[in-house]
């Protein structure tokens, strides 16, 4: 089973009169699933299947480009570079590669400048097409570079981690960290196409698979308790990297995210629910220093803190919190949050959370569970938040 190899007469974006939706050839009998993100002229497909990187058909619908730049990192390039080279072979005259250092601690303006340096020193023009081959950090930085280079060039997401496939590669959020806060500098810039190759998950370290499962789990409590039940039944299969289970999880997460993003592309309301667990999680990441915990680990422990805060506000019961805790634990994620400050731990958490992008006039806005399967964004009294932090943090 493979995608058909077709090379339509390529046209540049400008020649086509601007951006047009990319179509994925997916004839009967292939193992490719497609989810569409409906955003008018910024609509695009997500292709999900095993072995897609190496198949030229995966990229057949893309516009032509005078040059192509693949941005990846030093861990991913040796694992998946050859496959993408095969997938792009013969299609573009010039393919430049930019290999960044690996890790959240490199999601900085200094690393971003390495991408700009490469684009300019290779005389890349406005029709240049960028590919992000890697996890969330590579995707966020490549997307932001594409948003800013010459005020915007097109890009393609090729996520190779579970976290990126189910969350960060979809929806157009791009950006970098600032020493004072995560993802503080960025842009909304939608990709032309997302290609999720399930085979790339084979080489993912177990710790990163677990981190990705945190973003998978979040879709249950905020939107779909049926999916949460499915996860409870298939968590072992997912951790064993069963292809069918992974395909279902990736597809269902993308469907939910597509639905939310189509309603609220620029996060003026609804979209914020996708940040369930992230307000506490970002504080952990920034407070410990980027790269100590993986993003998904912060989200895992953060979801339990947000659920506990929901419980103390009377929105969910203890049974729901316990059930979520079991699932997070079975995913191989931490269930106790780290102590950020021996003297005033809760104060330090509050300080970091106040610079969260959802904060308004210094008031922290939490994504809470308003009954299983439904999320709400609201504030909470500091005293109550302190109790939750004290209850959920690991003993010093």
C-alpha to C-alpha distance for 340 and 301, rounded to whole angstroms = 14
- Catalytic annotation present for 295: yes
Residue 257 is among the residues annotated as catalytic for this protein: yes
Active-site residue among 77, 104, 215, 285? Answer: 215
CB of 359 to its own copies, least distance (A): 5
CB of 7 or CB of 266, closer to its own copies: 266
Check if 7 is active-site. no
Closest CA to 310 of 375, 382, 392, 364: 375
CB of 318 to its own copies, least distance (A): 34
Q: Whole-number minimum distance, CB 45 to its own copies, in Å? A: 23
Residue 11 annotated to the active site: no
C-beta of 270 vs 335, nearer to its own copies: 270
Nearest CB to its own copies, comparing residues 252 and 357:
357
C-alpha to C-alpha distance for 86 and 64, rounded to whole angstroms? 17
d(CA 63, CA 150): 18
Is residue 365 part of the annotated active site? The answer reads no
Q: Report how far residue 182's alpha carbon sits from residue 103's, in angstroms, rounded to the nearest whole number.
A: 14
* Residues lying near its own copies in the complex (CB under 8 A): 12, 14, 17-18, 66, 109, 113, 116-117, 120-121, 123, 125-127, 147-152, 173, 175, 178, 180-181, 184-188, 266-268, 354-355, 357, 359-362
* 271 included as an active-site residue: yes
**Comparison of 236 and 363: residue with beta carbon closer to its own copies:** 363
119 closest CA partner among 90, 88, 98, 92: 98
Is 223 among the residues known to form the active site?
no
Least distance from C-beta 39 to its own copies, angstroms? 15
Give the SS3 label for residue 191. coil
Beta bridge partners of 37: 44
Q: Which is nearer to its own copies, 18 or 29 (CB)?
A: 18
Among 218, 257, 323, 357, which one carries the catalytic annotation? 257
Question: Which secondary-structure segment (H or E) carries 170?
Answer: none
Q: Say which residue the tokens 């220093």 belong to.
A: 289
String of DSSP letters for 79-113: HHHHHHHHHHTTT-S-EEEEEEPPSGGG-SHHHHH
Residue numbers annotated as active site: 151, 173, 215, 257, 267, 271, 275, 278, 282, 295
């Amino acid at each position: 089973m493979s995608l058909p190899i077709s090379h339509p007469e390529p046209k540049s974006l400008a020649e086509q009169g601007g951006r047009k939706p990319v179509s994925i050839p997916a004839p009967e009998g292939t193992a490719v699933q497609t989810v569409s993100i409906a955003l008018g002229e910024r609509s695009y497909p997500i292709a999900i299947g095993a072995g897609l990187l190496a198949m030229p058909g995966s990229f057949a619908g893309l516009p032509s480009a005078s040059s192509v730049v693949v941005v990846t990192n030093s861990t991913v390039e040796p694992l998946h570079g050859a496959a993408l080279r095969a997938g792009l072979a013969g299609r573009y005259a010039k393919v430049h590669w930019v290999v960044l250092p690996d890790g959240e601690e490199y999601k900085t303006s200094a690393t971003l400048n390495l991408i700009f340096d490469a684009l300019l020193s290779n005389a890349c023009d406005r029709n240049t097409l960028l590919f992000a081959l890697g996890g969330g950090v590579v995707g966020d930085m490549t997307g932001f570079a594409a948003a800013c280079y010459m005020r915007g060039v097109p890009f393609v997401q090729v996520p190779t981690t579970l976290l990126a496939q189910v969350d960060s590669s979809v929806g157009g959020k791009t950006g970098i960290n600032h020493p004072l806060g995560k993802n503080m500098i960025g842009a909304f810039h939608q990709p032309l196409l997302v290609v999720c190759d399930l085979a790339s998950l084979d080489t993912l370290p177990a710790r990163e698979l677990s981190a990705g499962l945190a973003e998978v789990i979040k879709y249950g409590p905020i939107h779909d308790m049926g999916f949460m039940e499915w996860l409870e039944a298939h968590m072992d299969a997912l951790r064993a990297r069963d292809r069918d289970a992974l395909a279902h999880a990736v597809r269902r997460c993308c469907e939910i995210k597509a639905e939310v993003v189509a309603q609220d592309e620029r996060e003026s309301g609804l979209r914020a629910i996708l940040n369930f667990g992230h307000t506490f999680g970002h504080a952990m990441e920034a407070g410990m220093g980027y790269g100590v915990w993986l993003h998904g680990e912060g989200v895992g422990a953060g979801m339990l803190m947000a659920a506990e805060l929901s419980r103390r506000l009377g929105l969910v019961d203890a049974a729901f919190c316990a059930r979520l805790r079991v699932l997070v634990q079975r995913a191989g994620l931490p269930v106790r949050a780290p102590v950020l400050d021996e003297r005033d731990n809760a104060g330090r958490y509050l300080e970091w959370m106040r610079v969260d992008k959802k904060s308004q006039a210094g008031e922290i806005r939490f994504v809470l569970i308003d009954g299983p399967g439904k999320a709400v964004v609201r504030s909470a009294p500091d005293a109550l938040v302190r109790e939750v932090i004290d209850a959920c943090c690991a003993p010093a």
